[in-house]
Structure 1
């Protein structure tokens, strides 16, 4: 069996805490919701709550207190409540049901037989979804999708609950998506677990500092070699194994310009510029093949 991992991880450039948007689009496997659309739903819910509170009298203390409080459905950071998510899912005929509720526990359903879960802790939302016959953690804080085995799924959910996460089972028929169609006819393996975005950036930064120290010690000739090694290591951090490229191209669902890619590319650009500046200061010409050096993100 080939060692492949599907790259169907819908990630967006983070502005605030738009993880609810990421969560929904990862769940549905498409660019179905924007922050503006979710904000509109939140405002509608706020207005419905205001109307209900006004029924007790617009001069009442409860009504005045309600008006002074911030919205419970969204905030300035981009967070959206479960009510907003529930209304958004309702458009697709989907319903989130609390995983540890008595209503769900009475059903006695093995989690592996479900289709998807959405998880929330404080202001972070993410999706765990079955595609084909395999489960994937589609957390937007990861650099890519994480494969979860059937035997590990129940333990994974239990660990989330112990950490304080609220977990919701998604009931209803999810829309068809290309990743699901492909993974119905093949299974994938994952040799390397995805990293947290911050962890990848920290490792890139550490590699850059080590590269600079080596350049100082070994001079211009070894400086060039260290730069090539640093760029190669960065490419390895950002890309899935080369043998996984066929499935990535087949699925073609990952978005371009994710946060981890844009930041890492900028770091590499600065690395190259610093190197060329040092060369210029020592009156050494820049070799043509260095100018052609590029880094590739995930496709």
Structure 2
């Protein structure tokens, strides 16, 4: 799935500006700067303070409280992201809400997800309206990473279990080169077989690398077993459990 990489917009993590990186990866361009998001955060702070003063006359004229929408590290609240995306008529809806039942059943049918844990934000996005063209655009990675259709659902389950807030993105994105290319090439190299092969190899590698190990010899044999499983076209690997996937993800991003 590397054929799309030259067309993808992705920003490497800079300081604590992951909210900026998340939005720009979602929109596929340098649409927002830290200054833009700070302006939105200040507007929100002023609106919240005005609303507070209106409901409580004793607060009127009091010293402004610490911002709830940004801090000195570069972190921005979800309200900042919501208001930034309103400019493009794009909404984000909590993944666990009643409005997102379909997303939980068929996550590959959505266009993108925004994920947050503590101060970190990142984007999972589909390109060209193809379920075979999902990418993890997390700014802390070495670069964009392809996500298979099946692994997308597993990843979202992992993130939810690990405490992430997940938002389903609704709307129409501005045009970008990656979408144009993926629309004309919905399957890598024009073949669905390559995606199926990648999926089989992913499952085999997960299962093999997380086989129970009772001694050093058994542990050392797991890598060779992964190679055998990934190359076999006749044998099938058992699907990994959520706990196995969680361990794999923690190891992957540590």
TM-score by length of 1: 0.58
| Offset at residue 180 of structure 1 (A) | 1.0
| Match for residue 100 of structure 1 among 96, 110, 113 | 96
Q: Please point out which of 66, 76, 82 is paired with 2:72.
A: 76
Contact 2:9 2:29 in 1 (8 A): no
Counterpart-to-counterpart distance in 1, 2:67 and 2:2: 47
Q: Which residue of 1 aligns with 2:149?
A: 150
Cα displacement (A) at 1:109: 5.5
Distance 1:35 1:146, change over 3 A: same
Measured on the aligned residues, the alpha-carbon RMSD in Å equals 2.5
Paired position in structure 2 for 1:20: 19
Shift of the alpha carbon at 1:94? Answer: 0.3
| Bigger Cα Rg | 1
CA shift for structure 1 position 146? 0.7
Structure 1 residues 151-197: Cα deviation after superposition (integer angstroms, max 9, x where no partner): 11111100000111000001011111101111222233798x9xxxx
Alignment of 1:1-299 (within 5 A): 4=3, 6-7=5-6, 8-12=8-12, 14-15=14-15, 17-60=16-59, 67=63, 69-105=65-101, 110-132=106-128, 133=130, 134-186=133-185, 187-188=187-188
Give unmatched runs, 5+ long, in structure 2. Answer: 189-193, 203-254
**Aligned pairs, how many?**
187
- Equivalent residue number for residue 232 of structure 2: none
Following the alignment from structure 2 to structure 1, what is the Cα–Cα distance between the partners of residues 142 and 104? Answer: 34
Residues 68/43 of structure 1: CA separation in 2 closer, same or farther (3 Å cut): closer
Aligned 8 A contact 2:10 2:144 in 1:
no
1:52-91 superposed Cα distances (whole Å, 9 cap, x missing partner): 110133424x985xx5642110000001111000001000
- Give CA-to-partner distance per residue, 1:201-252, whole Å, 9 cap, x none: xxxxxxxxxxxxxxxxxxxxxxxxxxxxxxxxxxxxxxxxxxxxxxxxxxxx
Distance 1:41 1:105, change over 3 A: same
Q: Which has the higher contact order (CA 8 A, sep 6+)?
A: 1
User: Could you list the runs of 5+ residues in structure 1 that have no partner in the other structure?
Assistant: 194-299
1:125 partner SS: strand
Once the 2 structures are TM-superposed, how far is the Cα of residue 135 of structure 1 from its aligned partner?
A: 0.3
Measured in 1, the distance between the counterparts of 2:64 and 2:174 equals 40
Structure 1 pair 107/77, CA: closer, same or farther in 2 (3 Å)?
A: closer
